[in-house]
Amino acid sequence: MARNGSAGVRLKKCPKCGGEIEISFLNQYSYVHKLTKSGRISKRYTKEDNGTMEVSVAGCRTCGANWGDGEFSIDEDGYFWDFKYSGEGRL
């Protein structure tokens, strides 16, 4: 997969500091409250899973390097491809 005309670079660790990369897949949930007989919103609620937002972000906790949606990709084999830091003095 390519972005901005350049192919990504497969990474095993943070290109800035060598730290661990974490990838977060964002999901959306709703807390659903009922309106009670008194006309007030109930304190109780049910949590509803509205599924994935199809957005993922990644980052390194050590140095703060981060990837927004579209700045990296995970391929079918589970490898991490960097489109953001590639070419910038990577390890």
Q: Which spans of this chain sit near Zn ion (rule: CB under 5 A)?
A: 14, 16-17, 19, 60, 62-63, 65
* Cβ at position 24, least distance to Zn ion in Å: 16
* Cβ at position 66, least distance to Zn ion in Å: 9
Q: With respect to Zn ion, which residue has the nearer C-beta, 2 or 63?
A: 63
Residue 52's closest CA among 29, 36, 70? 29
What whole-number distance in Å separates Cα of residue 83 and Cα of residue 8? 5
What whole-number distance in Å separates Cα of residue 74 and Cα of residue 1? 10
Q: With respect to Zn ion, which residue has the nearer C-beta, 24 or 36?
A: 24
